[in-house]
Structure formats: structure tokens, C-alpha cells
Amino acid sequence: MANLTIDIDLPENVTITGYHRLPEAHGIEVSWPLPETCCCPRCKTVEPARLEANLDKGKMRVVRDLDVFGQSAFFCYQAVFHRCPKCHHRHDLLAPFKRKDTGYTYRFEKQVLRMLIGSNEAEVARRLGISAETVRFIVKNQLADGQAMTIDPQRVITDIGMDEVSLKKRHKLYATIMTDLTDPKNPQVLAVKPGRDEKAGEACLNLLTPAQRDKVRWR
């Protein structure tokens, strides 16, 4: 049997602990450092973590991540809970690579944004095997995050792309996406702002330092 080694970029602090070959898909078992203290969402008490694994053994959380070799890949992990010593409320520890109540990683969300450039929600949904509603939901979440978005002032950016995307189903939703094209093989979304006018573009550009802006070439 032949062995194949591949490199997989991982979100910060995440490590691979196992791999499952699935029909037409890849299951990547991951773990990350667990917190030493937890804050109870119910009574707000901060205490040393009292962690419990999912009692339902063998039941894995499965979260969509970026494709591997053009096939869907999923992060798999055991759910971990913190039991509040004060009110005994048990809460789910959120994995660092995804937002609450979603079945995909932050970087999958970014990929959806990138794929929307020059495409539309139905087409992106079809290519990724998700619903158009999910595409829309992802864009809305990304836009909400965009208000708090910052760009590392030390980041070296030589090439930038500015694109508008629109979601047309029911109510029209426009967004402007600024992409770092410094490494053309690995474009990275830097900012996303609502609207498709000059103001939206300026709001994106304002996240760059004057020095970064001076260095940038436009694509």
C-alpha cells in the first residue's frame, strides 16, 4: 500500500490527532489546548475548568472545513463541556475555529466569500454542497464581524483586490470584499463591508495603515 503525505494548514493552536477516510470526503480529527478557567454563561462565575467529555461515547462533532484535493473535509472532535461548580449548569466549550451554532469553520466562511466574487449564491451553494440560505447566513455573519475587523499593521501586503458581491434572493444584499493577493495561490480575505459604493471601499481601505496603503498594487 502506498503512503501519501500532505501538508494541511491549520488554524492557530489546532493539531491533527487522527484521520478518517470517508467516501468522497476526509475526516480530520483535531484537538486544541483546553482552557484552564471557564466563565459560566448562566451565572457568570469564573472558575478553574471542570471539564467533562461527551458521555455519548463515539459521538463526534463534525464541522465542515476547506476542501482537500477537491473533496469535502471535516474537522472531527469530541465535545467537551464545563460544569459550573456554583449553579451546575453545563456548557459546551466552543472550538476556537468556528462560531457558535454553525457547522463549519471560520475559514470555510472566508472561502464562501471568496467564491462569491464573480459568482452568485446559488452557484456557490451548488459547488460546496450547501444551501443558498447557508451562503447568505455566512455573508451576514461575516459582515457583522467586519465591523470589528482589524488588519495586522505589520502585515506585508503588496497586492490587493477589491470586489463587490451581491446576494439577490428576496432582499438585495451587497458587500465589498478586500482581498490580499500578495500570495496569488492563497488569496486571503482582509475585510468585508456592507454596500458596493465608494464608501464601502474606503471603509475597507481605512483598515490599512498609510504605510501599507503606499505599498499596495491594485489588481
Grid cell of 32 as nine digits: 486544541
Q: Determine if 22 is a binding residue for Zn ion (CB under 5 A).
A: no
What's the distance, Cα to Cα, between the start and end of the chain in Å?
45
- For residue 19, which phi and psi values (nearest 5 degrees)? -145, 135
Please report how close the Cβ of residue 71 comes to Zn ion at its closest, in angstroms: 42
Q: Determine if 144 is a binding residue for Zn ion (CB under 5 A).
A: no
CB count within 10 Å of CB 26 equals 19
Q: Determine if 8 is a binding residue for Zn ion (CB under 5 A).
A: no
Grid cell of 35 as nine digits: 482552557
Q: Which is nearer to Zn ion, 85 or 103 (CB)?
A: 85
Site string for Zn ion, 75-94 (x = CB under 5 A): ---------x-xx-x-----
Please report how close the Cβ of residue 37 comes to Zn ion at its closest, in angstroms: 13
Which residue in 20, 42, 168, 219 binds Zn ion (CB under 5 A)? Answer: 42
Is residue 212 within a helix (H) or strand (E), and if so which, with residue range? Answer: helix 210-215
- Quick one: which of 43, 46, 50, 8 has its CA closest to 29? 8
Please report how close the Cβ of residue 86 comes to Zn ion at its closest, in angstroms: 5
Q: Which is nearer to Zn ion, 40 or 135 (CB)?
A: 40
Instruction: Please give the single-letter amino acid code of residue 37.
Output: T
> Which residues would be at the binding site for Zn ion (CB under 5 A)?
40, 42-43, 45, 84, 86-87, 89
